[in-house]
Chain A
Amino acid sequence: MSIVHIKNKKGETLNFLFILPAVLLNLMFFIWPFVRALYMSFYDWSLMGNKKFIGLGNFIEAFHDEKFINSLIFTLKYAVIVTPCLFIVAFALALLVNQNFKGVTIFRTIYFAPVVISMTTCSLVWLWIYNDLYGVLNYILDKLGIISENILWMNSADTSLPAIVFMITWKMAGFTMLILIGAFQTIDEEVYEAASIDGASKIQKFTRITLPMIKSYIALAMIISVIGSVLAFEQFSIMTKGGPSSSTTTTVHYIYNTSFKYFHFGYGSAISMILLVILLGLSYFQMAALKDPTDN
């Protein structure tokens, strides 16, 4: 038994003081709202204080609410499009800076820099790039002969979605790149040497050794990107304001509008809980991917 740990009750109570601030914060602003979210989701609860228990009413409403369903579909569509784009660019970047050569850290820093810039600033900056009249993108595309008249990027979901996916790829690829660099470094050089002796080509080494050995890191990078995309808010609320006619409204944006524009707190809580169930499902996959990164 350790002599540091004072074993009488008084000593243990004093020990508890170390974690007390963290516990209090957690109980006040995490556990309490969590319990309350469950409770509120069973009520018709609006700003004016008329609270009425309606059982599963909010959840039934959610599944008939076309706007909510559309927001879910749009958010999933965004996640499904942005994740592979991000991954392919990040993979290419990781291959570019994986070897050691002079100045490699400078390039890594440059590719990672957009990750630390806030989503808000990125959204504003790219809004200016995508501006239909004075923006630089239309000018360059026109110069290259790709377009003949200016595109109004943010005026339709057909153009704003790819534009925002492009922006997010620029912003977040550096993050996925770092996960992949870390993954590459877990592979022992000797494995490649042994393969070379056996006469394996460069491509064979890549598909037979590298890819299988970093499989779980790839899964992890993808899940992190999906979770991030499911929570998307800033980029759409700032760049398209969810429009035109709610065609680019994400789920979080819809919860925000329901709760803080129309003050339907009960319904807002219920759809938050639906979102949470989706996120917890994804977190489960994240933990499964992490369980044993070397064993496949």
Chain B
Amino acid sequence: MKKKKFHINPKIIINVVVALLFISPLYWTFITSIKEKAEVYGTPPTLFPKSFSLENYTKIFTINDGIYLSYFFNSLKITIITVFFVCAISVLAGYGFSKLAFPGKGMWMTLIMLALMVPFQALMVPLYNIMSELNLLNSQLSLIFIYATFQTPFCVFMMKNSFDMIPKELGEAAVIDGAGRFRTFSKIYFPLVLSGIVTVGVYSAYTTWNDYIIALVFANTNMKTFNVGLVNMALGDYGTDWGILTSGSFVGLIPILIMFIFLQKYFVKGMMSGALK
């Protein structure tokens, strides 16, 4: 009998080593978060935890009457509203720019595309003044408005491309059959651009959840978002609490990593079109 030759591709071995290196910062964060305090602050550091304790997790959920959880839910609420808002606006505008005629179409398109080239950071000062005049400073509404404004140009662009790929004849046939403009939109086009909508939604959720600077400028007193609140808690005035920092970071990672694992295709699509816009 011939012995089956066992052969491992050297590329796989290199990949395994590199992948372990890539995961190691997250591994180090996780094991720190489940160590007892004495072990976290022990020298030398232990690469495999000797103690096991959930005290850092109970701590972040109970400290200051559960303020960490309120940051978490603030961000969750803002993210959900923003995603809904951005999807609705960009689907409507994408459809309008792709399939409908109206006066000044080119001009409006140029205006919205202009915003693609200007990042928030260049306009944060006048925006701060405007929000203060509108009495919206330190409100969730100001964050939702700004997230939506700086996310929609790209999302409108994505949705316009999705609608462009659907032949015009499809809609015309529906009109001949007596369907109105809104019926044509909801019954014919909507199902065909669903994957575009998911891409836009994932892009919006990821961008909103991960934001730091916008929330830092516009909501840094009583109503903090998760990222701003976590930095404040972890690097507090009384020195850094590494237990809180690692457990808090780890909990914040989970929603976005779960989303990434299940919707990877849409993440990649959104980010790549962002780069090649």
Instruction: Note whether A and B form a binding pair.
Output: yes
Which positions in A face B, CB cutoff 8 Å?
2-5, 7, 12-16, 18-19, 21-23, 25-26, 28-34, 36-37, 40, 93, 96-97, 99, 101-103, 106-107, 109-121, 124-129, 131, 133-136, 139, 170, 175, 178-179, 182, 220, 224, 231, 233-234, 238, 252, 255-256, 259-260, 265, 268-269, 272-273, 275-276, 279-280, 283, 290
Contact indicator A110/B108 (Cβ below 8 Å):
no
Contact indicator B210/A119 (Cβ below 8 Å):
yes
* B62 is an interface residue with CB less than 8 A from chain A: no
- Given known A118-B209, A131-B242, contact A265–B125 (CB-CB < 8 A): yes
A-B contact pairs, 10 of them (CB 8 A): A3-B175, A30-B150, A32-B130, A109-B261, A118-B209, A125-B249, A178-B272, A233-B213, A234-B212, A234-B213
Pick from A107, A115, A118: contact of B227, CB below 8 A: A118
Contact indicator B123/A37 (Cβ below 8 Å):
yes
Q: Which residues of B contact A134 (CB under 8 A)?
A: 40-43, 45, 242
Contact indicator B122/A279 (Cβ below 8 Å):
yes
Contact indicator B210/A118 (Cβ below 8 Å):
yes
A134, B216: Cα distance in complex, Å: 29
A182, B273: Cα distance in complex, Å: 12
- Given known A109-B264, A128-B245, A276-B118, contact A118–B252 (CB-CB < 8 A): yes
Contact indicator B118/A40 (Cβ below 8 Å):
no
Contact indicator A119/B156 (Cβ below 8 Å):
no
Q: How far, in Å, is A9 (CB) from chain B's closest CB?
A: 9
A182, B276: Cα distance in complex, Å: 11
Please, how many residues of chain B have a CB less than 8 angstroms from a CB on the other chain?
99
Contacts A2-B168, A238-B235, A265-B128 known; 6 new A-B pairs at CB < 8 A = A12-B102, A23-B112, A34-B123, A37-B122, A129-B25, A134-B45
Which positions in B face A, CB cutoff 8 Å?
9, 11-12, 14-15, 18-19, 22-23, 25-26, 28-29, 32, 40-45, 47, 88-90, 92-93, 95-97, 99-103, 108, 111-112, 114-115, 117-119, 121-130, 145-146, 148-150, 152-153, 156, 168, 171-172, 175-176, 181, 184, 206, 209-213, 216-217, 227, 230-231, 234-235, 240, 242, 245-246, 248-249, 252-253, 256-257, 260-261, 264, 267-268, 271-272, 275-276
Contact indicator A19/B97 (Cβ below 8 Å):
yes
